[in-house]
Chains A and B, each alone.
Chain A
Amino acid sequence: MTVEIEKLTRRRRMVLATSGLLFIILQPTVYNTLDAPMATWRAVDWVKASSFALWSAMLILILLTGGFPFRKLSQATRSALNDELTRDNRRVGYMAGYWAMMIAAAVLFALAQADFITPSECLRYLFAIGVAFPAIRFAALERRQDG
């Protein structure tokens, strides 16, 4: 069982780190067209919006459940994947996400006041940081503890 848990926690860490980073990196390039009014969206924008929603939901769900929400796992394995160290790491991840959102909100507010970005962009960036930052912080903690 524990060998399987080792494999699963490594996979969870990799998914959360790479997926979280990619989610933030793609915001100014791929998802920037979502800030236009919905009435002007083309089919490709609806696909982007769907992928944005699905990706966000997956990141939140993986972090919230301890990973692999749709995979059939024994109760013991699921419990070990979400043990008290994992829960503590998740708590630290959420705290880091809170502070990242606070700092981002201040920066985005200043940028919006100077008309560098629109309120819609501000909200999207804040949401993306709120989704991705706890996942990245959680993965970083898991990596450090993997000694």
Chain B
Amino acid sequence: MADGELVCRLREARTEAGLTQLELAERVGVSRKTINTVENGVFIPSTLLALKLARALGKSVEDLFGLSD
């Protein structure tokens, strides 16, 4: 992975919280597809959505997203 690329740990955090993609989608008010594309790195969420995801999972945004070294 190249330096400075987005690393997404959403799937791990969601699984750890015992939630399905559908349940997480409902909590943050988006479609399941949006959660799926964020987890697969296809779609980079906005700051607002990242904050909502972090709040729904009881984590900080940095726990869910980071930059590769």
Contacts and interface: CB of A to CB of B under 8 A. Distances in A.
Query: Which label, helix, strand, loop or mixed, suits the secondary structure of the B interface?
Result: helix
Contacts of B22: 2-3, 6
Interface in B5-47: 22-23, 25-26, 29-34, 36-37, 40, 42-43, 45-46
B56 interface: no
Nearest to A88: B43
A76 interface: yes
A5 interface: yes
Nearest to B34: A85
Chain B contact patch, size range: 10 to 19
Interface residues of A, number: 19
Query: Which label, helix, strand, loop or mixed, suits the secondary structure of the A interface?
Result: helix
A146 interface: yes
A1 B26 contact: yes
Interface of B: 22-23, 25-26, 29-34, 36-37, 40, 42-43, 45-46, 49
